């Protein structure tokens, strides 16, 4: 079993980062009555979407109450690890590598169709990616986002990105190690694109050393947007969904490219802690419902996982089918994640 070091929880938890979160400070779960559950959400628009798309239909059908606790996956996993017999939260939103840590530690229940009828509409590969102890709810693609008013000929690949940033053609904004998805969306994805992989991330660290004079780091998605809007950076590594959120909010100067090597699929997994309130099951089933996911996708501009989802005309050209992404080896990443974080802290430090 892979054990996360305490400093990893503290470091990642301090940023409250996940590929699709906004960096809002946590609101911890409170005591629950029998007809109440505590569910998790990232801050900002994520909290709004969770309330409208999942909590509201759950409450209407069950007459129970869903209380939202804000935070991030490392924090939530630590809370469940600290109290496995009486978890303070009833469902987990996890990055897949942390979901596998929870699965391997025996902290979460199996997902089955008898408990979750809508699971039948989720591709088996996505449930298998977390060993059947959860499944993926939605996903983003980590690629190159740029200010098209300043970058007329953007890099089309990770290799071109590294080369042109290294030469000083651009200042690039990249996620810091405080952001929980950085090991997947940046370290692994860039290492793989440059000829390495899970067992060889030297190409990534060499690339970072070449680019270091022309890099700034973001700890939360809004930081990245501020870098581009202020001119501190012209482009960087970011998510497709967040890019389109900014575009729809009026930043029509922003654009996104899926690198030719393939951007990483950065999924959001959902799980139920063992010994959590059984009302978590109907709530999770609402999260897997096609209509609820369609509404969720429309708010967040990310791909969702129910095969019956029909995207709007606005979303269709923005969503990369999961089959066309580069699927990270989440379990293998989970085994070496801490080593990557330690190396980052030694060699990059931001």
Neighbours of 163 (CB within 10 A): 15
The confidence score (pLDDT) of residue 335 equals 86
Q: How far apart are CA 218 and CA 220, in angstroms?
A: 6
pLDDT digit string (tens) for 16-71?
A: 333 333 333 333 333 455 799 999 999 888 999 999 999 999 999 999 999 999 99
Give the predicted TM-score (pTM) of the model: 0.77
Say whether pLDDT at 168 is over 70.
yes
Provide the pLDDT confidence category of residue 9 given band limits of 50, 70 and 90: very low
The confidence score (pLDDT) of residue 150 equals 96
The confidence score (pLDDT) of residue 33 equals 55
> Which stretch of DSSP H or E encloses residue 144?
strand 135-147
Q: Do domains 6-139+265-332 and 142-263+339-347 have the same CATH topology?
A: yes
Residues 269/135, Cβ–Cβ less than 8 Å: yes
What's the fold here for domain 142-263+339-347?
D-Maltodextrin-Binding Protein; domain 2 (3.40.190)
pLDDT digit string (tens) for 89-111?
A: 999 999 888 899 999 999 999 99
Average pLDDT over all residues of the chain: 89
Domain boundaries, the chain: 6-139+265-332, 142-263+339-347
Q: Which residues contact 11 (CB under 8 A, 6 or more apart)?
A: 177, 178, 341
Q: What is the mean pLDDT of residues 325-333?
A: 88
CATH of domain 6-139+265-332: 3.40.190.10
The confidence score (pLDDT) of residue 16 equals 35
Burial of residue 1 (CB within 10 Å: 0-12, 13-18, 19+) is exposed
User: Of the ranges 3-17, 184-198, 212-226, which one carries the lowest mean pLDDT score?
Assistant: 3-17
């Amino acid at each position: 079993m892979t054990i996360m070091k305490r400093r990893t929880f503290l470091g990642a938890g301090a940023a409250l980062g996940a590929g699709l979160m906004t960096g809002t400070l946590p609101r911890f779960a409170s005591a629950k009555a029998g007809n109440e559950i505590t569910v998790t959400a990232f801050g900002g628009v994520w909290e709004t979407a969770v309330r409208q798309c999942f909590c509201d239909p759950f409450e209407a059908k069950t007459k129970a109450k869903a209380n939202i606790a804000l935070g991030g996956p490392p924090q939530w996993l630590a809370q469940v690890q600290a109290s496995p017999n009486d978890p303070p939260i009833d469902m987990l939103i996890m990055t897949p590598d942390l979901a596998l840590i929870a699965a391997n530690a025996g902290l979460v229940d199996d997902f089955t169709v008898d408990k979750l009828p809508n699971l039948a509409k989720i591709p088996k590969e996505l449930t298998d990616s977390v060993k059947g102890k959860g499944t993926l709810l939605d996903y983003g693609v980590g690629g190159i986002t740029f200010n098209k008013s300043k970058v007329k000929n953007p890099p089309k690949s990770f290799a071109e990105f590294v080369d042109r940033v290294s030469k000083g053609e651009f200042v690039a904004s990249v996620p810091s190690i405080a952001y929980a998805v950085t090991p997947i969306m940046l370290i692994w994805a860039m290492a793989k694109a440059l000829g390495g992989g899970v067992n060889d991330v030297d190409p990534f660290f060499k690339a970072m050393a070449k680019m270091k004079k022309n890099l700034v780091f973001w700890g939360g998605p809004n930081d990245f947007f501020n870098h581009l809007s202020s001119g501190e950076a012209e482009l960087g590594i970011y998510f497709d969904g967040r890019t389109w959120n900014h575009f729809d909010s009026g930043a029509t100067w922003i654009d996104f490219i899926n690198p030719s090597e393939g951007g990483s699929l950065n999924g959001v997994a959902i799980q139920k802690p063992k010994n959590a309130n059984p009302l978590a099951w109907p709530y999770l089933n609402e999260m897997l419902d096609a209509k609820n996911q369609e509404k969720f996708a429309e708010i967040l501009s990310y791909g969702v996982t129910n095969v019956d989802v029909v995207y709007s005309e606005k979303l269709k050209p923005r969503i990369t089918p999961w089959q066309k992404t580069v699927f990270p080896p989440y379990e293998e990443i989970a085994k070496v994640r801490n080593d990557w974080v330690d190396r980052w802290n030694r060699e990059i430090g931001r």
